[in-house]
Amino acid sequence: MRRSVAGPLLVALACAVPAAAQPSPATPRAWWGDYRYVWNGGRTAGGSGVVVTYDLGLGAGGCRITARGYQTDETIRCTAVPRAGVLDINFASFGDGALRNKYGVAVYRPGERLFSLSNRRGTIWTGWGSYSPWENDRPLGRHFRKVA
């Protein structure tokens, strides 16, 4: 009598995947709260201020980014995935649940890292991924601050 090894083999393979590689279903409580970054991009040729406010909300209700300001008005649903002392903020969808922005452009892929946060001695550092106010340079720095 032949026995299939497919079932036990699949179970063994599933157990072999390290737990750290699997995204956390919820944001760690230590990170819950509201964070803000106000980006000052200088002035236009006409003298108008180029300022965008980025708000990040983390909690039991999930992860959400809102960006409002100069030529910017968007909401992004995100996931917060902890890894080795860093919290990766990854794209899930735009605020309406769509994978394309209001202009029909797929700017980000689901799961794509937008930016990361780390807490070093009480100071929050931001490491930018594909979501950055800068076009080319993406400086690591103290950008987001916890506001609530």
**SS3 per-residue string spanning 22-44:** CCCCCCCHHHCEEEEEEEEEEEC
Write out pLDDT tens, residues 66-104: 999 999 999 999 999 998 889 999 999 999 999 999 999
Choose among 88, 84, 74: nearest CA to 27: 88
Sheet holding 49-59, edge to edge: 123-128, 113-120, 86-94, 72-83, 62-69, 49-59, 33-43, 145-146
Using pLDDT thresholds of 50, 70 and 90, give the confidence band for residue 144.
very high
Using pLDDT thresholds of 50, 70 and 90, give the confidence band for residue 23.
very low
| Mode of pairing for the β-strands spanning 123-128 and 145-146 | unpaired
